[in-house]
Amino acid sequence: MNYDEERKIFFDIVSHELRTPVYGINGLATMIESEQDPDERQRYFASLKHTAQHISMFVDNILQGSKYSFDERKLNMTPVNIRIKMENIYNSIHVFVKEKSLEFKHKLSIHSDSLIILLDKVALNQIIINLIYNAIKNSDYGKVISFDVSEISRTTDKVALQFDIIDEGRGLRYAEDISEFTLYEKQKNLKHFQSERGLGLIIVQQLLKYYNSELFVKSVLNKGTHFRFTLLLPIYQASQRTYHEPAQVQTVNQEKRILVVDDNPLNLLISRKTVEKISPFIKVTTADSGAKAIDLFKYINFDLVLMDLNMPDKDGFETTLDLKALNKFIPVVALTALSYDNVIGRAKEVGMEDVITKPYNLEAFEKIIRYYLNPNIKKS
């Protein structure tokens, strides 16, 4: 296949993957505006945040790619509480099924609610949302969609989870093709494959390969479709703490000063408000350039610096080198929209203590801030 053909398929995939969550965001905004029940509004807000995170993670995947191909993808395994993860996904799915007046049933059967596993959240989101979206698209008013996740085996370090998505929809005419279909193969069949259900199932099959798994399909025309896949996942151990997972966290009960550096005024506002909510003892100063940050640093004793990386004139890496020259013990944490994997190496080289990618999980963000405000941690 030539470059133009591969490029077109890539953008078809991007379009497909972004249109689904964008549709969800538009629907949620309308529902939030008209909903009077405060509990329902809160649930819609939770779904809105989860859907926005899905878009962010997908964009992050694109940025990590070295060429227009999913073949280069590697799983980014991070610790996840599977029950919390599934509840977030359920909330997002409820929005889609409600729009089409479908009944949604779900069940999670695991042996421990506190099970923490290592998985690629982006890949799992894409797999599940694509399969659910296929079920919704092929189901008519009043039909039932079921989504079950079951623990089928466990050892001391791994757990096997089985995912079943069942609909009562129109069925698939080309279900037998799915196990053989790869992203850039069988181009002569791509047209009928896309016309029936888009590129979603091709993406699912490709992503499951990274997990050493595959998609099993049983489909009957006008009766429905049953998708099943199994993932064998590592169980997270406390000793596996990564560079950006603080092991110790403390309460902030004395005055601390944080410098936030970012050239975007909206980002500065959001970061300042978010940090200030952590504790009334935290005082935030902002700088919209590296040069201003250095000037402020000369006259104010800060306890922590949150540093944007992509700034004009003097970027976050250069600014950090200058700040460390003035005080080598000051913790500097990158706060960036760039991919974690793409910046962590350079961040360590210039002496940054950590990297937080935007948009971030608020709970994880707060833990990292509290950790680096701890005066007892070893600063090297």
> Is residue 163 in a domain?
yes
Residue 58 has pLDDT above 50, yes or no: yes
> Is residue 56 in a domain?
no
Residue 231 makes CB contacts below 8 A (sequence gap 6+) with 119, 124, 160, 161, 163, 211, 213
**pLDDT tens digit sequence for 265-278:** 878 888 898 899 88
> Is residue 206 in a domain?
yes
> In which domain, by residue range, is 290 found?
242-372
**pLDDT tens digit sequence for 247-259:** 444 566 688 999 9
**What residue type is 37 in one-letter code?**
D
> Is residue 340 in a domain?
yes
Which has the higher per-residue pLDDT, 32 or 62? 32
User: Which of these three, 215, 239, 263, is where a domain ends?
Assistant: 239
What is the mean pLDDT of the segment spanning 213-220? Answer: 89
Whether residues 105 and 229 fall in one domain:
yes
- Tokens 């040069």 locate to 291
Whether residues 351 and 253 fall in one domain:
yes
Whether residues 182 and 307 fall in one domain:
no
Cα–Cα distance, 46 to 38 (Å, whole number): 12
Which has the higher per-residue pLDDT, 352 or 92? 352
> Is residue 293 in a domain?
yes
Q: pLDDT class for 5, splitting at 50, 70, 90?
A: low
Cα–Cα distance, 58 to 17 (Å, whole number): 8
**Residue 59 burial by Cβ neighbours in a 10 Å radius (0-12, 13-18, 19+):** middle
Using alpha carbons only, what angle is made at residue 141 by residues 139 and 147, rounded to the nearest 5 degrees? 50
**Number of domains composing the chain:** 2
Q: pLDDT class for 191, splitting at 50, 70, 90?
A: very low
Q: Name the percent of the chain lying above pLDDT 90.
A: 27
**pLDDT tens digit sequence for 92-107:** 787 677 767 889 999 9
Which has the higher per-residue pLDDT, 42 or 305? 305
Mean pLDDT rounded to a whole number for the chain: 78
Whether residues 130 and 150 fall in one domain:
yes
Residue 14 makes CB contacts below 8 A (sequence gap 6+) with 62
> Is residue 3 in a domain?
no
Are 169 and 199 in contact, with CB atoms under 8 Å apart? no
Whether residues 159 and 293 fall in one domain:
no
Whether residues 355 and 328 fall in one domain:
yes
User: Which of these three, 209, 239, 269, is where a domain ends?
Assistant: 239
Closest CA to 183 of 198, 200, 203: 203
Whether residues 115 and 232 fall in one domain:
yes
Whether residues 94 and 219 fall in one domain:
yes
- Encoding tokens for residue 354? 């950590």
User: Which of these three, 184, 218, 239, is where a domain ends?
Assistant: 239
Which has the higher per-residue pLDDT, 12 or 66? 12
Residue 67 has pLDDT above 50, yes or no: no
Q: Quick one: pLDDT at residue 290? A: 94
Whether residues 157 and 221 fall in one domain:
yes
Helix axes 200-210, 3-34, angle to 10 degrees: 100
Are 310 and 45 in contact, with CB atoms under 8 Å apart? no
Phi, psi of 110 (to 5 degrees): -125, 155
